[in-house]
């Protein structure tokens, strides 16, 4: 099916994450040590925010009946609020709509076809795909520079896929969670009680916390219902963005440093010979 396309220019722009599908792809988080992560925290508050180009691709069966611009900007503002303490600012460089029922069915539908056709920017550009029929989300980790330059398939595949509802939410933490993967963070329950998310300031966790607010709107109230899934007396990471919880509202210092280290795997990353990419959004 041929898709219709139109573009909006830059529009001067957390709740529970139901399910993240990163595990479906058997993706491996970057091997970054605690010491590597923490050295990136030196002088963090004195550095300028790192601008990250963010391209937004909205895939729908038919044109929207309302202007999505304001709600998209509210979610971008929330993302930037969550990432500013760790040195990142996501800069909207364009929003493109694709009216194609096949592409809009879910993130998996013709995923490689659609991402190879529409992705923009180099390996340091975040491509966020908002797919009408998608009910969860996933995002690809950066690959290790030791593996060599980025090839065409890896570049085309890179990005985050979520539902349109999440991309327009005023309070939802799904995009913040998925971008955490894009910047090298695994789930806090990675490997269960015997595993590790690579950070020494999160606690071992057997499974998703599924924290629920005891008091509506109070991020601290999930502690009242939090499980102690690995160690008696030590509650799960129910406020962490990399759990599944109503109270997602924080990253830890180690996670912040880990994201900065992972960013160095993206910024200025060499591309293999012959690899090409688009930059401008079509009008």
Q: Which residues are catalytic?
A: 178
* Burial 57-77, CB ≥16 within 10 A → b, else e: bbbbeeeeeeebbebbbebbe
Cβ-proximal residues to 264 (8 Å cutoff; 6+ apart), any chain? none
Give the number of other Cβ atoms within 10 Å of residue 39's Cβ.
12
Instruction: For residues 53 and 57, give the distance between their C-alpha atoms in angstroms, rounded to a whole number.
Output: 13
- Close Cβ partners of 155 (under 8 Å, ≥ 6 residues apart): 119, 122, 123, 271, 275, 277
Closest CA to 202 of 184, 185, 221: 185
Distances (CA, A) of 13 to 50, 156, 170: 18, 27, 12
């Amino acid at each position: 099916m041929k898709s219709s396309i139109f573009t909006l220019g830059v529009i001067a722009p957390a709740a529970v994450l139901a399910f993240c599908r990163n595990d479906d792809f058997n993706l491996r988080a970057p091997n970054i040590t605690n010491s590597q992560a923490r050295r990136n925290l030196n002088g963090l508050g004195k550095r300028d925010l790192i601008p990250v180009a963010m391209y937004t691709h909205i895939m729908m069966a038919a044109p929207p009946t309302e202007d999505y611009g304001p709600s998209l900007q509210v979610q971008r503002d929330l993302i930037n609020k969550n990432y500013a303490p760790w040195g990142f600012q996501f800069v909207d460089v364009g929003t493109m709509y694709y009216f194609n029922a096949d592409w809009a069915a879910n993130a998996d539908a013709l995923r490689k076809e659609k991402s190879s056709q529409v992705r923009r920017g180099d390996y340091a550009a975040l491509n966020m795909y908002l797919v009408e029929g998608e009910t969860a989300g996933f995002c690809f980790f950066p690959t290790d520079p030791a593996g060599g330059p980025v090839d065409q398939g890896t570049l085309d595949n890179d990005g985050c896929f979520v539902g349109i509802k999440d991309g327009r939410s005023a309070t939802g933490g799904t995009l913040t969670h998925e971008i955490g993967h894009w910047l090298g963070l695994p789930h806090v329950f990675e490997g269960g009680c015997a595993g590790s998310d690579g950070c020494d300031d999160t606690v071992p966790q057997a499974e998703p916390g599924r924290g629920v607010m005891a008091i509506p709107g109070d991020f601290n109230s999930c502690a009242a219902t939090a499980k102690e899934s690995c160690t008696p007396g030590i509650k799960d990471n129910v406020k962490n963005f990399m759990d599944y919880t109503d109270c997602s509202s924080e990253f830890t210092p180690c996670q912040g440093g880990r994201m900065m280290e992972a960013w160095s795997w993206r910024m200025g990353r060499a591309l293999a010979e012959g690899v090409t990419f688009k930059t401008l959004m079509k009008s």
